[in-house]
Amino acid sequence: MHNATTAAFPTLLSSLQVGAHVLRNRTLMGSMHTRLESLDRPIERLAAFYAERARGGAGLIVTGGYAPCSDGRLDENGPMLVTPEQADELKPITNAVHAVGGKILLQVLHTGRYAKIAHPVGASAIPSPINPRAPRALSTQEVWQTIDDYARCAELAQRAGFDGVEIMGSEGYLINQFTVTRTNDRTDEFGGSMENRHRLPVEIVRRTRARVGPGFLLMYRISALDLVEGGAPANEIVHLAQSIQAAGADLLNTGIGWHEARIPTIAYVVPRAAWRFAAARIKKAVNIPVIVSNRINTPALAEEILASGDADMVSMARPFLADADFVNKAAQGRADEIAPCIACNQACLDYIFAERPATCLVNPRACHEVEFAQLPPPQAKRKVAVVGGGAAGLACAITAAERGHAVTLYEAGSAIGGQLNLAKAVPGKNEFDELLRYFQHSIERHGIDLRLQSRPDAATLAAAGYERIVVATGVRPRTPQIPGITHPKVVGYTDILAGKVQAGRRVAIIGAGGIGFDVAAFLLHDANDAHEAQQSVQTFFAEWGVDTSPDSTGGLKPPAPIKAPREVTLLQRKPEKPGRSLGLTTGWALKAELAQRKLRALSGCSYERIDDEGLQLSVHGAPQTLAVDTIVLCAGQDSENTLAAALRAQGIAADVIGGAELASELDALRAINQGMRLAYSIV
């Protein structure tokens, strides 16, 4: 097993001496808030969540953030570690991780002016653009007290059995607020000169080290790039890294961009490993190991970065949600079996921001380990038919086969994937290719009988003697009733995204849901190089205004102007601003990108007629003509449930899932979740 390891990913899977510890490989499961604390039995759930990742081979794990004092909490219910009793409550987590050979650090996080509490504190009384609550500046004495709070929190983590702590110094939280002039206009020993602005993190590391002794791992997460106006100049970042090393840190993890930055840092639009240059810059300046992070989601990419010398370890957070066995699969020559994180943020960050516990679009078991472990195993191998090879059908078929059932998967098209095949054509969404590759591989691995271009009818299914029939026949695009809808200018989104029809230079899109926006992105990129541009880190930096030069400040420069190949107008009937249904943590970036490409969006539309002139409509009651060459329909979908109805009519029992059950607001997240959960009910 370990020979395969060394052959495929020799650097990634080699051990690393850090301080008094030997890490079994160079993977770090980065810190993620899970909100599991908000559920019943939180410690049991957290222990199961982390232990599963440790069992899966993660070299080092970091918990979500624990505040060192009440001012530092994320919100009124945010986790804190301030008493010995709280430390003792966390022991089942460290015991569970250690029992399976893992190592785990507790993250100490003071949110400063980002805190969603009644009276946040900060370096100065400068409000944050993403928190309506204005902060109060900490007094000098309170800053020294906060330093002591960090050291005490680390000592309590030691009592709880953690192998060390991560001091969170990036992402615009309290420490970051002290290090830069944007948020620090203090005149005491914590403001003004660079040395003064760095005093808070340096003293935290120094005093923590003094309190916990040499054997306890001390990792500092440095902001390798702030991506905000008034952020740190590159030379100050390097200087801080050296000071942190001198103060006694064992490891430097890197963070990219403040939460208030207007440049996406981890969403799908960010090319893989885009930020490695920032970690490499720090690595050149220090002797302790440096960890690279963000948009690294395959062992091959992680290996390449480490082998190049840009970093010593790779942090992956979301990839460990998508697949707890990431490392073991890589080590056992089964990298193809790793469920890929597609950087959608839909079930992790979007859930967290909506105050729901996190999970994962491709792995609904994530953060629900306790619940899934309690589900009964199958009593017998069942003969199962799944009709429809889109997201819901695939998840159901693969999970059922994984649990030992004999599964036949019928798909009407010539390839699996359904709507996922369209998603992968959207600029930036090429990670969907990875997901489809993973599904295809899983079908083969679990011996699913896949029948393409096959539409079984109710009688055929009944005659085949299946013990369970699952209908996942998906959706049909909706055709709105507008006079002239059969005009040759009109085309459906499936033909556009599948490349069957080329749109003209002036385009109107009817419908501004997720697909309307995706089609706008598709049409506003040059068809030939959309994917290439997405892959190119340099293009991404130019378009978003990221400065990688050694004399940059905050990592920003003016974005390069973009010339879009078309004029696109996106329309909806609702009076509200279009884009409400987009993902919380990705929608803003998509809207910003499309605004740069001069997308025009109109709401309050009433469609009158389509004719040779274009689209005749009224906007908030005012009539107008949109002179366009092409009108793309993105007006939602209806369920394709002909088979379900036929089965019902003949009294044949079947489960109907995904879009076939309910078309409105269907997306891959709901489809996969429903498909997987149904498969668990086949016992």
Q: What residues act catalytically?
A: 173
| Residue pair 321/358 in contact by the 8 Å Cβ criterion | yes
User: C-alpha angle with apex 544: 539 to 545, nearest 5 degrees?
Assistant: 95
Q: Which two tokens stand for residue 25?
A: 């490989």
Q: What is the smallest separation between the CB atom of 297 and ligand SF4, expressed in angstroms?
A: 8
Of residues 471, 468, 470, 460, the one with CA closest to residue 381: 468
Cα(277)–Cα(436) distance, rounded to whole angstroms?
30
Q: What is the smallest separation between the CB atom of 423 and ligand NAP, expressed in angstroms?
A: 7
* Binder of residue 360, out of ligand NAP, ligand SF4, none (CB less than 5 to 8 A by kind): ligand SF4
Residue 634 binding ligand NAP, by CB under 6 A: yes
Q: Which stretch binds ligand NAP (CB under 6 A): 61-69, 164-172, 223-231, 664-672?
A: 664-672
Pick 309 or 480: Cβ nearer ligand NAP: 480
Q: Which residue has the tokens 């994180």?
A: 341
Q: What is the smallest separation between the CB atom of 362 and ligand SF4, expressed in angstroms?
A: 5
Residue 579 binding ligand NAP, by CB under 6 A: no
Neighbour-count burial of 220, counting CB atoms closer than 10 A to its CB (0-12 exposed, 13-18 middle, 19+ buried): buried
3-state secondary structure of 637: strand
Q: Which stretch binds ligand SF4 (CB under 6 A): 304-312, 316-324, 483-491, 599-607?
A: 316-324
Handedness of CA 514, 572, 495, 526 (dihedral sign): negative
Residue 573 binding ligand NAP, by CB under 6 A: yes
Cα(477)–Cα(422) distance, rounded to whole angstroms?
13
Residue 667 binding ligand NAP, by CB under 6 A: yes
Q: Which two tokens stand for residue 346?
A: 């839909």
Pick 265 or 637: Cβ nearer ligand NAP: 637
* Binder of residue 637, out of ligand NAP, ligand SF4, none (CB less than 5 to 8 A by kind): ligand NAP
Q: What is the smallest separation between the CB atom of 558 and ligand SF4, expressed in angstroms?
A: 30
Q: What is the smallest separation between the CB atom of 520 and ligand NAP, expressed in angstroms?
A: 11
* Binder of residue 581, out of ligand SF4, ligand NAP, none (CB less than 5 to 8 A by kind): ligand NAP
Residue 122 binding ligand NAP, by CB under 6 A: no
| Residue pair 263/554 in contact by the 8 Å Cβ criterion | no
| Residue pair 640/476 in contact by the 8 Å Cβ criterion | yes
Name the phi and psi angles at 41, rounded to 5: 45, 50
> Which secondary structure element, helix H or strand E, spans residue 490, and what is its range?
strand 490-492
Q: What is the smallest separation between the CB atom of 667 and ligand NAP, expressed in angstroms?
A: 4
Question: In whole angstroms, how large is the CA radius of gyration of the chain?
Answer: 26
Give 119-182 as a DSSP string.
S-EESSS---TT-SSPPEEPPHHHHHHHHHHHHHHHHHHHHTT-SEEEEEE-TTSHHHHHHSTT
Cα(581)–Cα(632) distance, rounded to whole angstroms?
19
Cα(304)–Cα(8) distance, rounded to whole angstroms?
11
Between 339 and 378, how does the x/- string for binding to ligand SF4 read (CB under 6 A)? --xxxxxxxx-----------xxx----------------
Residue 606 binding ligand NAP, by CB under 6 A: no
| Residue pair 164/226 in contact by the 8 Å Cβ criterion | no
Residue 520 binding ligand NAP, by CB under 6 A: no
Q: What is the smallest separation between the CB atom of 482 and ligand SF4, expressed in angstroms?
A: 36
Cα(319)–Cα(301) distance, rounded to whole angstroms?
13
Cα(253)–Cα(235) distance, rounded to whole angstroms?
18
Residue 572 binding ligand NAP, by CB under 6 A: yes
Which member of 146, 442, 553, 637 binds ligand NAP (CB under 6 A)?
A: 637
Which member of 515, 594, 644, 654 binds ligand NAP (CB under 6 A)?
A: 515
Q: At what angle do helices 431-445 and 391-402 cross, to 10 degrees?
A: 40
Give 573-585 as a DSSP string.
SSSSPTTTTS-TT
Q: What is the smallest separation between the CB atom of 321 and ligand NAP, expressed in angstroms?
A: 17
Q: What is the smallest separation between the CB atom of 636 and ligand NAP, expressed in angstroms?
A: 4
* Binder of residue 321, out of ligand SF4, ligand NAP, none (CB less than 5 to 8 A by kind): ligand SF4
| Residue pair 27/314 in contact by the 8 Å Cβ criterion | yes
Q: Which residue has the tokens 């055929």?
A: 460
* Binder of residue 568, out of ligand SF4, ligand NAP, none (CB less than 5 to 8 A by kind): none
* Beta strands 290-292 and 313-316, pairing class: parallel
Residue 492 binding ligand NAP, by CB under 6 A: no
Pick 160 or 322: Cβ nearer ligand SF4: 322
Indicate the Cα dihedral angle 370, 373, 375, 379, nearest 10°. -170
Residue 639 binding ligand SF4, by CB under 6 A: no
Between 265 and 304, how does the x/- string for binding to ligand SF4 read (CB under 6 A)? ----------------------------------------
| Residue pair 168/176 in contact by the 8 Å Cβ criterion | no
Pick 202 or 322: Cβ nearer ligand SF4: 322
Residue 583 binding ligand NAP, by CB under 6 A: yes
Neighbour-count burial of 642, counting CB atoms closer than 10 A to its CB (0-12 exposed, 13-18 middle, 19+ buried): middle
Cα(668)–Cα(391) distance, rounded to whole angstroms?
6
Q: What is the smallest separation between the CB atom of 56 and ligand SF4, expressed in angstroms?
A: 14
Pick 331 or 342: Cβ nearer ligand NAP: 342
* Binder of residue 58, out of ligand NAP, ligand SF4, none (CB less than 5 to 8 A by kind): none
* Binder of residue 480, out of ligand NAP, ligand SF4, none (CB less than 5 to 8 A by kind): ligand NAP
Cα(294)–Cα(652) distance, rounded to whole angstroms?
49
Which member of 512, 524, 601, 660 binds ligand NAP (CB under 6 A)?
A: 512
Q: Which residue is nearest to ligand NAP (CB)?
A: 513
User: C-alpha angle with apex 70: 65 to 75, nearest 5 degrees?
Assistant: 60
Q: Which stretch binds ligand NAP (CB under 6 A): 75-83, 232-240, 540-548, 665-673?
A: 665-673
The site that binds ligand NAP (CB under 6 A) totals a number of residues, namely: 23
* Binder of residue 348, out of ligand NAP, ligand SF4, none (CB less than 5 to 8 A by kind): ligand SF4
Residue 109 binding ligand SF4, by CB under 6 A: no
Q: Which chain residues interact with ligand SF4 by CB under 6 A?
A: 318, 321-322, 341-348, 360-362
- Which residues of the shown chain bind ligand NAP in the complex (CB under 6 A)? 346, 478, 480, 510-516, 518, 572-574, 581, 583, 634-637, 665-667
